[in-house]
């Protein structure tokens, strides 16, 4: 997100230490052998004990002091002055080349640099020595040469000098400071004190540049010169440089990673390849793939050898489960001569006790329903209708954190803890303007005057926008994030002009380009809320760090967020966001397009609003899908009479419609029941469960109707109904119970969306089963009576003449085309031994291939998929991935930080000098050195480090107090200076001349405050405004970084340290970054014996993917286990139950393999579909298996019977019904329907059909 570069604006302290160069006002002593140079400056022959400049002679127009060109002998200071000099410059002893005024200027200016460097004493000491030597060294003339002078009021002043240093001195000085961090902005101090210099030459060139009037920097040019030959008489400065790893002035590991004491700390995480591979010549295969191939080859060889042995023994088929009867009648059956209209009724000898009981029950039940259809119909409908009353409390859960995250999950707790103890992450409103690339050329730069003017026009419209909320108007200023309670923390390139178009007209675009490189070191580049604006957060599409070639502007408006309890806390913000989106669509977008630019945009509530729109966008598509399925159901349930008029009687439109109504009643009854007990529904439930229950219901309807049709017409309807129920009732019960138990057991899943789906599905399938064997059977009774009376379907009060339907009464007896195909062609073909071998080899091979492919499934759910295809967020997410150069903020939260002097917690956390080498912040800095594995881009901003530095006596401009003990602000803040409202400058008024530092060195113990000192000064720090004189003030930067409540007891309940993730462009990046942060926090908690956890705004949505494989496997295994148990209890056949289990597992494996091939990710939606696939797959397997078990004759004959009866019903029912319904989903507007419903459902139907009707009969 665009504001991921900063959570809280950091006001003030962005003034470069180039202003410290203004302290370099040193006297120039004219050596007896001096001569005049061509530029007007005297040329001095270097000599020990002589100065090049001495004293302050004048001031520039902007008030900066100018040194005198004065070659004189070094002066001996008095004792007090000497003591003062050595307190800041311990290397300067004896004579000096500076006056008291010069030293006061030096002291005043270096205080701006101290807060940046005091955390690394070696760097600070080296840096101060550089300017102490230049200002006060008694041998100044040896390495300082005045090269330019100018007259100010007839006084010759210094306008330029050469400062000679050795290359080694420059390198070592730079190396001691290059890694020092400025934690407030998660960046290097070198970005502020050196303009982001990468070498010592760049750094010194930055420090030495001459500032324009009213700009920070040196009043004269300082040119740092490298080594010269000895003949020049110059002796380049080469004083002692302290290494940042020097034990006496040790820096932290974060500021000095190369220090020897840091080598034993936690090493950066590395990606280790856990998978192995096998090389075969030039080919390389994963060990799993290779193992599967080997096992598959062995399997093929085994079944081939078994087939050959079986054939050599003279056998002609696979062993049947039941020995063929030996009487003459059974012999005929062995040859397949079973009457076409024979009904399969299980015999007691071949049935289990449970099946025998169910057969008895269903026979009696069939008789009862036939005799009392109205009573059964009314009584059975009463239950779901009563349950539907619960729909009064029906609610849909749309909040993602309530759908995909368990209330007891770790991230849910961490988010609640962060929000309640610190502050909720701000709301983000964002615009992305970009140039368009042509076919052959890259996108041109967006940095030009016309685009800046357009941006000012857009900004004005945003500022003028007013929204209505409960009768009051809401503007951006009313809701925006204000770090200092005055200006909005808008992140925009316009901030380099302080959002003022007049400044843009005056300074031009060159000023913006200048700020791209010096955003952290120029006051003129500061934002309206006094914070530097990192160009990488407001620009996009630039190569490397070449910001001027950026092809996109990223404008972000952070808005205050509040913890929601009633849902109305953010009402004003949401009202403004809706108005903002309308404004962008209606006014801003045309403006941008007219300038040949592209625009994408988003608000905090955009995703929720678009998801709600998506839920209704495909309502018509879903309805059409159900209508098509209903039409097919009505067609497949009816007969195919030879006469057209007879079709009006034999059709089953009313029966099919009634069956669909029963399915809808079962779904509504399930929703009503759970709504009544307070369980919210979800969009997945409303979209998937009707599809699931309709699949199961249609299958059962086809099976029941076809079973009744197979009964002889010569027997009464009562007997036909009871016989049909005896034949198919047990298999319907078996399938339904297996599905109900599978869904019920999977409800143990902690993920709310999956758990709710499983509960709703279990209840819906159970209600559907009850209605199928009661209400639908009663409807079958009425329908068959209607047909036998010659009454017209849908108009039962009308009757056709008996001659019209004569000759079609035997329609029920003729096998349907599908049944004839199954019996006469499909079954016999599967009986051929080569076909059996090929089918088994292919299906087992597909299972093995699917195992290999399923390991390549990627966790995640692309945001673009769940949105409508025409959503404006589609382009926004594309632009984020294309242009964003920063990742989301990452906070490491420390619980119960004990700051008392008796505790080691402070040193275990901080990262300045004297902190533990393996402290939390040092280890975070170390992790940032390996961003490709840790996903941490920068060291962490630390309120604790800045607080300790702010309190330090070295930071003499920070923690100060008046004589009465009250807090005294820095000299550049009121009341210490007089603020000019027009210019914004603050002129010293002497009000704080008597202020002193809060502590002396002797007041602190090893540089650390006591418990009382910590407790008393922490509020001062958090209320201190950052400014040039003290950049470490905590107001704004750390206002929400720690929990103030109860801190007086020595414990800070919550403390956050902010860093940033690297740019996360893929779902796997988010998952891996969360895993890496978790692993790091866990290790640090263990090492430091403190409770530490990571927090980022996206963590709560991606935690599910850390264990998504575990969740998927657990759900699948539990469901399969439940199905196996039910099958074994009902059939009492271990073999049949095992076969069903194996085929179901193969179906699920193949579906996962197809997911990997199609690039479908593993997430809650796909897990729901996998669980649902087991329920639908049961329909493909159980009915055919049951029909085979109760069949008559040898194995081959029973296979044909099962295929011609149940196989035909399964094909006509679930397979074709789902196919015609699924195909319609291909035209859905939402990609989620196309991917997770059309593609997965289509694959499921085809895989289930192939396994159920081709592979299963051979098992």
Please name the residue ranges forming H helices in 521-564.
535-538
Alpha-carbon distance of 483 to 526, in angstroms, equals 14
Tokens read off for 270: 């590395």
Instruction: Indicate the burial class of 469 (C-beta count within 10 angstroms; 0-12, 13-18, 19 or more).
Output: middle
Helix (H) or strand (E) holding 144: strand 144-152
Q: What is the mean pLDDT of residues 605-611?
A: 86
Residue with tokens 């009850």: 770
Q: Is the pLDDT of residue 1245 over 60?
A: yes
Q: Is the pLDDT of residue 379 over 90?
A: yes
Report pLDDT digits (tens) over 707-741.
898 888 788 999 999 999 998 888 888 888 888 88
Q: Is the pLDDT of residue 616 over 90?
A: no
Tokens read off for 111: 């205080």
Alpha-carbon distance of 368 to 375, in angstroms, equals 10
Q: How far is CA 1136 from CA 403, 444, 994, 1131, 1188, in A?
A: 38, 68, 95, 8, 10
Please name the residue ranges forming H helices in 8-159.
79-88, 100-110, 114-117, 121-136
Question: pLDDT confidence of 40, banded at 50, 70, 90?
Answer: low
Q: Is the pLDDT of residue 642 over 80?
A: no
Is-cis flag, bond preceding 975, omega within 30?
Answer: yes
Nearest residue to 942 via CA among 427, 265, 417, 187 = 187
Specify the higher pLDDT residue, 1227 or 120: 120
Alpha-carbon distance of 1081 to 1071, in angstroms, equals 16
Nearest residue to 433 via CA among 583, 557, 550 = 550
Q: How far is CA 1093 from CA 129, 1069, 1213, in A?
A: 42, 19, 53
Q: Which of 299-334 are b and which e, b meaning 16 or more Cβ less than 10 Å from the residue's Cβ?
A: eeeeeeeebeebeeeeeeebeeeeebeeeeeeeebb
720 neighbors 651 (Cβ within 8 angstroms): no
| Centroid of chain to Cα 887 | 11
The pLDDT value recorded for residue 314 is 53
Question: pLDDT confidence of 344, banded at 50, 70, 90?
Answer: low
Question: pLDDT confidence of 627, banded at 50, 70, 90?
Answer: confident
**Residues near 854 by beta carbon (within 8 Å), at least 6 away in sequence:** 1149, 1152, 1153, 1155, 1156
The full 3-state SS of 221-286, as one line of letters, equals: EEEEECCCCHHHCCCCECCCCCCCCCHHHCCCCCCCCCCHHHCCCCCCCCCCCCCCEEEECCEEEE
Tokens read off for 717: 């309807």
Helix (H) or strand (E) holding 428: strand 427-435
The CB density around residue 996, as the number of other CB atoms within 10 Å, is: 12
Alpha-carbon distance of 810 to 1204, in angstroms, equals 18
Q: Is the pLDDT of residue 346 over 60?
A: no
The pLDDT value recorded for residue 1251 is 93
The pLDDT value recorded for residue 1209 is 81
Residues in the chain: 1259
Helix, strand, coil in percent for the chain, rounding step 5: 55, 10, 35
621 neighbors 1222 (Cβ within 8 angstroms): no
Task: Return the biggest CA–CA distance within the chain.
Answer: 142
Nearest residue to 118 via CA among 910, 791, 761, 738 = 910
Alpha-carbon distance of 914 to 72, in angstroms, equals 43
187 neighbors 179 (Cβ within 8 angstroms): no
Question: pLDDT confidence of 617, banded at 50, 70, 90?
Answer: low
DSSP secondary structure string for all residues of 96-122: BS--HHHHHHHHHHHTTTHHHHTTSHH
Report pLDDT digits (tens) over 1153-1204.
999 999 999 988 888 889 888 888 888 888 888 888 887 878 888 888 888 8
**Residues near 375 by beta carbon (within 8 Å), at least 6 away in sequence:** none
The pLDDT value recorded for residue 824 is 83
Q: Is the pLDDT of residue 349 over 50?
A: no
Least confident of 190-199, 223-232, 431-440, 1014-1023: 223-232
- Average pLDDT of the chain is 84
Report pLDDT digits (tens) over 529-568.
988 899 999 999 998 889 999 999 999 999 999 987 777 8
Alpha-carbon dihedral angle through residues 1103, 1105, 1109, 1111, given to the nearest 10 degrees? 50
1091 phi and psi, to 5 degrees?
-90, 115
The pLDDT value recorded for residue 28 is 27
Report pLDDT digits (tens) over 1066-1098.
889 999 999 999 999 999 999 999 999 999 999
Which residues sit opposite 155 in a β-bridge?
A: 152
Percentage of the chain modeled with pLDDT above 90: 42
Which residues sit opposite 29 in a β-bridge?
A: 71
Residue with tokens 């027997």: 715
Instruction: Indicate the burial class of 89 (C-beta count within 10 angstroms; 0-12, 13-18, 19 or more).
Output: buried
Q: Is the pLDDT of residue 25 over 90?
A: no
Which residues sit opposite 1170 in a β-bridge?
A: none
Sheet of 1091-1095, strands arranged across: 1051-1060, 889-898, 1091-1095
Nearest residue to 110 via CA among 130, 95, 91 = 130
| Centroid of chain to Cα 831 | 53
The pLDDT value recorded for residue 155 is 87
Q: Is the pLDDT of residue 415 over 80?
A: yes
**Residues near 1228 by beta carbon (within 8 Å), at least 6 away in sequence:** 618, 621, 1234, 1237, 1238
SS3 at position 1047 = helix
Alpha-carbon distance of 230 to 237, in angstroms, equals 13
Question: pLDDT confidence of 266, banded at 50, 70, 90?
Answer: low
Q: Which of 140-159 are b and which e, b meaning 16 or more Cβ less than 10 Å from the residue's Cβ?
A: bbbbbbbbbbbeeeeebbbb
Helix (H) or strand (E) holding 757: helix 752-771
950 neighbors 959 (Cβ within 8 angstroms): yes
Alpha-carbon distance of 712 to 720, in angstroms, equals 7
DSSP state of 1160: P
Nearest residue to 993 via CA among 960, 1022, 1018, 1020 = 960
179 phi and psi, to 5 degrees?
-100, 5
Q: Are strands 221-225 and 155-164 parallel, antiparallel or unpaired?
A: parallel
Which residues sit opposite 285 in a β-bridge?
A: 278
Residue with tokens 């008030």: 63
Least confident of 157-161, 183-187, 327-331, 1174-1178: 327-331
SS3 at position 892 = strand
Alpha-carbon distance of 1075 to 1080, in angstroms, equals 9
SS3 at position 1102 = helix
Q: Is the pLDDT of residue 788 over 50?
A: yes
The CB density around residue 1011, as the number of other CB atoms within 10 Å, is: 14
Report pLDDT digits (tens) over 482-521.
988 889 999 999 999 999 999 999 999 999 999 998 887 7
pTM: 0.81
322 neighbors 1197 (Cβ within 8 angstroms): no
Sign of the alpha-carbon dihedral angle for 668, 674, 675, 680: negative
The count of C-alpha atoms lying within 13 angstroms of the C-alpha of 339, restricted to the half-sphere facing its C-beta, is: 9
Report pLDDT digits (tens) over 883-900.
988 889 999 999 999 999
Specify the higher pLDDT residue, 78 or 520: 78
The pLDDT value recorded for residue 273 is 47
DSSP secondary structure string for all residues of 1199-1213: HHHHIIIIIHHHIII
The CB density around residue 596, as the number of other CB atoms within 10 Å, is: 9
């Amino acid at each position: 997100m665009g504001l991921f570069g900063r959570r809280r604006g950091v006001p003030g302290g962005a003034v470069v230490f180039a202003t410290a160069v203004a302290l370099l006002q040193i006297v120039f002593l004219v050596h007896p052998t001096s001569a005049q140079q061509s530029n007007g400056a005297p040329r001095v022959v270097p000599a020990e004990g002589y100065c090049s400049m001495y004293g302050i002679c004048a001031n520039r127009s902007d008030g900066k002091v100018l040194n005198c060109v004065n070659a004189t002998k070094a002066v001996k200071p008095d004792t007090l002055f000497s003591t003062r000099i050595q307190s800041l410059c311990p290397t300067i002893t004896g004579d000096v080349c500076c006056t008291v005024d010069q030293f006061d200027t030096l002291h005043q200016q270096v205080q701006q640099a101290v807060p940046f460097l005091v955390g690394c004493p070696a760097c600070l000491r080296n840096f101060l020595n550089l300017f102490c030597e230049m200002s006060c060294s008694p041998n100044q003339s040896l390495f300082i040469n005045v090269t330019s002078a100018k007259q100010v009021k007839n006084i010759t002043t210094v306008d330029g000098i050469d400062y000679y240093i050795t290359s080694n001195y420059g390198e070592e000085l730079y190396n001691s400071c290059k890694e020092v961090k400025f934690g407030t902005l998660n960046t290097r101090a070198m970005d502020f004190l050196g303009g982001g210099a990468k070498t010592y030459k760049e750094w010194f060139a930055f420090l030495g540049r001459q500032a324009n009037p009213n700009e920070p920097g040196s009043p004269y040019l300082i040119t740092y010169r490298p080594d010269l030959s000895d003949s020049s008489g110059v002796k380049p400065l080469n004083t002692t440089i302290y290494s940042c790893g020097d034990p006496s002035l040790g820096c932290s590991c974060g500021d000095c990673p190369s220090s020897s004491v840091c080598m034993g700390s936690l090493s950066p995480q590395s990606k280790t390849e856990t998978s192995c591979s096998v090389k075969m010549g030039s080919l390389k295969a994963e060990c799993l793939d290779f193992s599967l191939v080997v096992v598959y080859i062995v399997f093929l060889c085994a079944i081939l050898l078994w087939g050959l042995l079986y054939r050599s023994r003279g056998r002609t088929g696979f062993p049947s489960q039941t020995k063929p009867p030996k009487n003459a009648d059974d012999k005929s059956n062995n040859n397949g001569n079973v009457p076409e209209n024979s009904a399969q009724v299980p015999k007691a000898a071949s049935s289990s006790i449970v099946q025998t009981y169910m057969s008895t029950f269903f026979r009696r039940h069939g008789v009862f329903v036939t005799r009392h259809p109205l009573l059964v119909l009314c009584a059975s409908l009463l239950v779901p209708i009563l349950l539907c009353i619960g729909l009064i409390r029906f609610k849909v859960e749309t909040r993602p954190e309530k759908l995909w995250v368990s209330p007891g999950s770790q991230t849910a707790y961490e988010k609640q803890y962060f929000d309640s103890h610190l502050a909720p992450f701000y709301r983000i409103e964002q615009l992305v303007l970009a140039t368009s690339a042509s076919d052959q050329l890259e996108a041109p730069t967006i940095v030009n005057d016309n685009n800046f003017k357009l941006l000012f026009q857009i900004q004005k419209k945003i500022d003028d926008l007013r929204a209505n909320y409960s009768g009051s108007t809401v503007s951006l200023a009313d809701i925006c994030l204000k770090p200092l309670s005055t200006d909005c923390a808008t992140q925009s390139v316009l901030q380099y002009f302080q959002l003022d178009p007049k400044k843009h007209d005056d300074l031009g675009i060159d000023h913006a380009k200048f700020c791209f490189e010096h955003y952290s070191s120029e006051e003129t580049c500061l934002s309206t809320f006094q914070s530097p604006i990192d160009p990488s957060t407001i620009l996009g599409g630039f190569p490397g760090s070449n910001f001027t070639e950026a092809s996109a502007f990223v404008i972000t408006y952070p808005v205050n967020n509040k913890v929601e309890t009633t849902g109305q806390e953010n009402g004003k913000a949401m009202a403004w966001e809706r108005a903002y989106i309308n404004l962008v669509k209606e006014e801003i977008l045309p403006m941008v397009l007219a300038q040949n630019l592209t625009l994408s945009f988003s608000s905090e509530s955009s995703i929720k609003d678009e998801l709600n729109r998506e839920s209704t966008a495909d309502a018509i598509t879903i309805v059409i899908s159900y209508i098509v399925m209903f039409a097919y159901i009505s067609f497949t349930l009816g007969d195919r009479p030879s006469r057209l008029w007879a079709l009006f009687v034999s059709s089953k439109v009313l029966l099919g419609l009634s069956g669909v109504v029963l399915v809808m009643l079962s779904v509504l009854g399930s929703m009503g029941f759970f709504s009544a007990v307070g369980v919210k529904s979800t969009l997945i439930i409303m979209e998937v469960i009707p599809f699931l229950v309709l699949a199961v219901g249609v299958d059962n309807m086809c099976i029941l109707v076809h079973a009744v049709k197979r009964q002889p017409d010569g027997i009464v309807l009562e007997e036909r109904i009871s016989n049909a129920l005896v034949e198919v009732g047990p298999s319907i019960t078996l399938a339904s119970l297996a599905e109900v138990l599978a869904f019920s057991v999977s409800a143990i899943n902690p993920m709310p969306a999956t758990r709710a789906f499983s509960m709703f599905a279990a209840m819906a399938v159970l209600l559907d089963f009850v209605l199928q064997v009661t209400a639908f059977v009663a409807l079958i009774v009425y329908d068959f009576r209607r047909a036998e009376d010659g009454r017209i379907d849908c108009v039962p009060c009308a009757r056709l003449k008996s001659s019209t339907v004569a000759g079609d009464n035997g329609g029920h007896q003729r096998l349907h085309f599908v049944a004839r195909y199954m019996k006469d062609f499909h079954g016999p073909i599967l009986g051929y031994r080569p076909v059996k071998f090929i089918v088994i080899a292919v299906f087992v091979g597909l299972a093995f291939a699917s195992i290999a492919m399923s390991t390549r499934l990627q966790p995640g759910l692309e945001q673009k998929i769940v949105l409508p295809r025409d959503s404006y967020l589609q382009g926004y997410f594309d632009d984020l991935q294309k242009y964003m150069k920063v990742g989301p903020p990452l906070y490491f939260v420390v619980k119960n930080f004990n700051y008392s002097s008796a505790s080691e917690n402070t040193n275990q956390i901080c990262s300045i000098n004297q902190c533990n080498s393996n402290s939390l912040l040092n280890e975070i800095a170390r992790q940032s050195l390996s961003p490709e594995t840790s996903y941490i881009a920068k060291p962490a901003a630390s309120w604790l480090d800045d607080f300790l530095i702010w309190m330090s006596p070295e930071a003499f401009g920070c923690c100060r107090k008046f004589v009465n003990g009250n807090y005294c602000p820095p000299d550049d803040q009121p009341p210490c200076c007089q603020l000019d409202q027009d210019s914004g400058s603050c002129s010293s008024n002497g009000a704080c001349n008597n202020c002193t530092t809060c502590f002396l060195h002797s007041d602190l113990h090893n540089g650390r405050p006591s418990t009382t000192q910590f407790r008393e000064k922490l509020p001062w720090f958090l209320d201190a405004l950052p400014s040039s004189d003290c950049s470490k003030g905590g107001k704004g930067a750390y206002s929400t970084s720690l929990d103030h409540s109860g801190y007086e007891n020595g414990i800070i309940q919550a403390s956050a340290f902010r860093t940033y993730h690297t740019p996360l462009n893929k779902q796997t990046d988010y998952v891996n970054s969360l895993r890496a942060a978790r692993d790091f926090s866990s290790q640090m908690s263990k090492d430091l014996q403190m409770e530490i956890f990571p927090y980022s705004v996206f963590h709560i949505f991606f935690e599910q993917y850390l264990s998504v494989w575990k969740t998927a496997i657990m759900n699948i295994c539990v469901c399969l286990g439940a199905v196996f148990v039910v099958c074994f209890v009902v059939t009492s056949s271990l073999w049949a139950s095992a076969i069903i289990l194996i085929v179901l597992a193969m179906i699920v494996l193949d579906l996962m393999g197809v997911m990997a091939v199609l690039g479908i990710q593993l997430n809650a939606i796909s897990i729901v579909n996998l669980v649902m696939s087991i329920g639908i797959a049961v329909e493909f397997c159980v009915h055919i298996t049951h029909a085979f078990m109760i069949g008559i004759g040898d194995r081959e004959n029973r296979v044909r019977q099962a295929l011609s009866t149940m196989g035909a019903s399964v094909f006509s029912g679930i397979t074709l019904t789902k196919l015609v319904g699924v195909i319609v989903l291909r035209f859905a507007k939402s990609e989620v329907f196309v991917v997770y419903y059309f593609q997965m459902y289509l694959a499921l139907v085809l895989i289930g059909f192939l396994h159920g009707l081709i592979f299963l009969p051979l098992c």
